[in-house]
Every structure is written in structure tokens, then in C-alpha cells.
Amino acid sequence: MPCLLVLALSLWGGNRIACTSSIVKSAKHTRLHGHITAESVTAPLGCIHAAFIFVMTMYTQLYNRLSFGWNTVKIDMSAARRDPLPLIPFGLAAFAATLFALGLALGTTIAVGMLFFIQMKIILRNKTSIESWIEEKAKDRIQYYQLDEVFVFPYDMGSRWKNFKQVFTWSGVPEGDGLAWPIREGCHQYDLTIEQLKQKADKRVRSVRYRVIEDYSGACCPLNKGIKTFFTSPCTEEPRIRLQRGEFILATRGLRYWLYGDKILDDSFVEGVSRIRGWFPRNCVEKCPCDAETDQAPEGEKKNR
């Protein structure tokens, strides 16, 4: 049916949006950001239009095949009670295909519609989800060390309308050249980079040394480390690292049953391997008592950072 073509085009546009959304979220702006956001509006509209056609088609075809008795209602899908007969045959197979296409249209409307709201949130704030996370860590760092400073995100112009105009322009090309972007008054072009360097240095200060007391194969969901460890495995793409008894780990963050850190390498490792980091079960390591002073930076060092 012609409406199936409408759904196919809508789904094709939605898949393009889904494939490129990860690129949009990882960059400040791209030349296609405005176009992708516009497509995330037109794709749900096209699917809504297709869903309306599907519903009306099924309603019309079923209505023409209904026959009412005293206590029964029968549906005859073989032929319609119309004169002349419809130009396009509509049997049981066509009904099932239309019902399936209706489900796809509604699902695409919901999924791509949610993507549109996410993209608009990013545009109005001029801030990706990763940059929001960096800003939250900046506030935590300042509060933890009780510093007399305030971190201002440099790319948020202070007005949602100004942020909106940076992406949606009359020329269709967002402001900026891909390397330098308009920044808020009083901020520096590299304020975000400087803050990230401070956070990495702070992570090294807060890292805790652990000693491996039990071997770990590096499995994603180890069965021999406990039921809770098995079911609480981190749902991330970050790797797991193989552990051997006697090795040392610098842990930088963790969950209740898992830790994330860097393995302290020695001369026995292959030359050229700079660092090995990833997740490992918490019950495979123990905190080194001899390095307890590394758990918390001296008070004087906190104030100077």
C-alpha cells in the first residue's frame, strides 16, 4: 500500500538520526546538528501521518466486513460488502502487515520524539551530557577542597535564545569553525580544558592503593566471585582487567562490589604498554595499610589546589 512507503521513508530517516546521534552528543557542534534536529521532528510527523492512514484503513476495511446477529458479530475477511469492490485487495495477510506497520510507526514516533527532546535540551543549554558531567565534577572539586573559585561553563552564553541561535542560523551553518567557538563574556577559550586537567590531577591525588589477594580472570560476569558481584557487574563498555595475586592497583572510583583503577606496572610488562586500567571485583583486593596516607591528600595540599 502507498502508506507503507510513507512508513519506510520515516523509519529510514529515524535510523539515520539514531546512527548520528552519538556523534552529535560527543561534539560541541557539527554542521549537521541543526539538520539532524529538524529530521528528528519530521520523522515523527511522518510516522504519525502513516499511523493515521493505517488506523483509518483498518477501520474502513473491518467495518465493511462486519455482520451483526442477535448475539454474535462476525468478520468475513474474504470479501467486502461494497459495490464496487475496493481496488486494493485487503485480506488477512494485509491486515496483519498493516497492524505490524502501525506498531513500527508508533514505536518510531516515541523513540525519535524522545531523541528530539534530548537534542533540544543540548542545544538550549549549549552543553552535552559529558560536559554536564564535567561541570558537576568541577562543583564537587571546589566544594571538597573549599576553594575560593567558581567554575562557569564557557560555552553557555547565559541565554537559551542565544544558544539556540548558534545552531539554527539563516545560512544553515552553526557559528564557529570547528576549533574555536563563541564563549561567554569573562571566560577563556580553554577554561573547560583547564578544568579537565585539574580533575585528572585531583583523581591521582584521591586514588587509593590496593593489593590483589585473589586472582581474577577478567570475565565480565564472574561466577566464582559471589552472586552479588555477578549481578552487579557495571553496564559499561569499559574493559575488565586480569588480576594476579601480589599485584597493586590504584583505584580511582568504584561501586559497592566493583572498583575501577590502573594497574601499577613493573619492568616485567611488555615494553610499550603505558597503562592497564579497567573494572575488577572489590573482593579480589584489599587496601594497603602501608599507603594509608595516599587515601586522603594532606590538608595543606588541598588548600593549594
User: Cα(277)–Cα(260) distance, rounded to whole angstroms?
Assistant: 7
pLDDT at residue 60, as a whole number: 80
**What secondary structure letter does DSSP report for 64?**
T
pLDDT at residue 80, as a whole number: 55
- Over residues 227-261, the pLDDT tens digits come to 999 999 998 889 999 999 999 999 988 899 999 99
User: Cα(267)–Cα(269) distance, rounded to whole angstroms?
Assistant: 6
Q: Which residues are within 8 A (CB) of 252 and not within 5 positions of it... i.e. 6 or more apart?
A: 203, 206, 207, 260, 261, 262
- Over residues 119-135, the pLDDT tens digits come to 899 889 888 888 988 99
Q: Quick one: how many helices (H) and strands (E) in the chain?
A: 8, 7
181 pLDDT tier (thresholds 50, 70, 90)? confident
Percent of the chain with pLDDT over 70: 73
Phi, psi values for residue 130, rounded to 5°:
-65, -40
C-alpha cell belonging to residue 70: 442477535
Q: Which residues are within 8 A (CB) of 76 and not within 5 positions of it... i.e. 6 or more apart?
A: 65, 67
Reduced to 3 states, what is the DSSP secondary structure of residue 85?
coil
- Over residues 138-179, the pLDDT tens digits come to 998 898 888 888 899 998 988 999 989 888 888 777 777 777
Percent of the chain with pLDDT over 90: 33
